[in-house]
Chains A and B, each alone.
Chain A
Amino acid sequence: MNDFSEIESKLRTLRPVQPSADLMTRIERALVEARHGESLHPGKRSTRLRSATARQASTAGVLPREPRFHFNWLSLGLGLAAAAALVLFAFVRLERPAKKTPSLAAITPAPTFSSANANAQFVPAGLTQVVYRTRDEGLHFPNNSGQPMRRVRSHSRETLRWRNPTTGASLRISYPSEEVSDVPVTGQ
C-alpha cells in the first residue's frame, strides 16, 4: 500500500463539492412531513420540498420518530361486513308488516308487572283465543238423565305469550283446541 501513498495523499487534497445550503433544511422538512405520515412520491418530492423550504422556516427542537402504523385490512374487512349485516338486519326489521290482532277473539288484558316477579325471566304477557268454528250437534240426554242438553262443539286456536321485561325477549306458544259444551234446554 506504500506505493500508493503519494496518489492517496493527492486524492485527499481534492475537496468534494459541498451540498447546497438548503439541503439540510429540506431533509429536516422531509423528516417532519414523514413524521406526519404523508406519503411522498419520489419523483415529486424534491421539487415540492424545495418550494416548501423557501416558504417555511426550519423546525427546531425534537424530531420524534413517526409511530409505526400497520394497516390491518382483515380488520377493516370484518368491520365492514359486520356493519353491512347490521344495516341489513335493521332494514329487514323495518320492512316487516305490523301484525293484525284478530277482532274475533277474546283477548286478555295486558298484564301488570308486580314487584315480586320483576326479576323473573319470563312473565305471562297475554292469552289469545280465536274461535274459528262452532257446530251445534243437537239435543242429547247425558248419563240417561231426563234433562235434554244441547251439545255445542267449538274449534279454536289459543296463543299464550310470555315476555322477559329485562331483556324484552318474548315467547309465544300456539295450539289448536276443541271444546264441547252441553247447554241445558229449558222452557219446553
Chain B
Amino acid sequence: MKFTTLNGLRAWLDRLAQEYDLIAPRDVDGHVLYRPVGSSGEILFDYERPELSAKDYLLPATETLLWVEKRGSEVILEEVLPDRRQVLFGLRPCDAHGFTVLDALFLAQDPPDLYYRHHRERTTLVGLACPQMWDGCFCTSMGGAPDDPTHLDVLLREVDGGYAVEPVTEKGMALLEGLALEERSQKPGFSEKTQFLRPVEVPPPERWRPLFENRLWMRHGERCLSCRICTYVCPTCRCFDVTDRVVEERAGVTRIERIRVWDACTSTNYRRVAGGHNPRPTKPERLRNRFYCKFCYYPEDFGPLGCVGCGRCIVSCPVDIDITEVMRDVAERSGG
C-alpha cells in the first residue's frame, strides 16, 4: 500500500489550500462540519460523521442562477458560474456516494443541470474512511462501506503511524502529485473488534408500491413536525425552489438575484398551488413521498436508490422517525 505520515499529509493539504478551495471537516462551535479551511491546522483528522452532508458544495443551499439588471425597460441578464476549483477533503464515503446519486439526476438526465455540472467538474473528492460505523449509520445496507473507495477520487485510511493512500481515479492520481508517499507491505483494514451494525433489508421498488395506501404511513407520519431537517441533512435530497431577490434599487437601476434554494417535500405547502389546492395536504402523505422518492421513484426514474445510509435523518429527527424502521416495516408487510 501507499503510505504517508500525518505531517506529509498536512504539508500536502497546505499546498492544496493555496491552489484550491479546500473544504474539510472542521470544528465549528462544537459542531463537526465540512467547511472551507485556510490551512491543515484547521482540519479535524479524528471526527465522526459531520453533522451536515457535503452536498452544499455541489448543490449550494443558496445559489445565484442569474443576475438581472433592470434599467427602466431594459434588462440585462448575467449568468454567473464562479470558476473555482475545490477539493473536498476528509469526505466520508457515504457523502461521496451521495454525489453519485445526485449525478444520476443532475448529470445523466437530459438536460444536465449546468450549475451542478460546473461544480462537479471542478471538484476532487478525497475521502477518509470511517474507522467504525456511528450511531444511526447503515451504509453497509445501502451498498456502501465505511472504507468504500467507489465514489471517491482518493481514499485515505488511518493506519499505524499515518495514512494508507489509495488513488481511485485519474483525477485523484493527479491531485496526489506532490504528496510524499512510501510503499509499505502492511494492508489497511478494520480491527477484529470493529463493530458493524446489522444490515437492514432494502425492499425493492415493487415491494413499496402495494403499500402506498397502507396505514403504516399514518403511524410514521402523524408525529412528523414538518420541520424538514431530514431533507436538509440528507446527502441526496435535492429539491429546490427558485425565486428572485431584489439586492439593490437606486437611480433607476434594480439589481436582482435569481436564486435557487434547497426545498423540502416534507414542508406543508410543497404541492400547494396558487388557487389553494394541495394534493398532498397531510403529514403522512408528505412523509410517504420522501420515503417513496428514495426507495421507489428515484431508482425507477434515475437508477440509484435515493439513500446512502448515512443515518443523519435518524439522529436529527426531533421525533425519532427512523428510516430503517420504515424499511423494516415495508419489508415485513410486503412479505419479505
- Are A and B subunits of one complex? no
- Give the A-binding residues of B (Cβ under 8 A): none
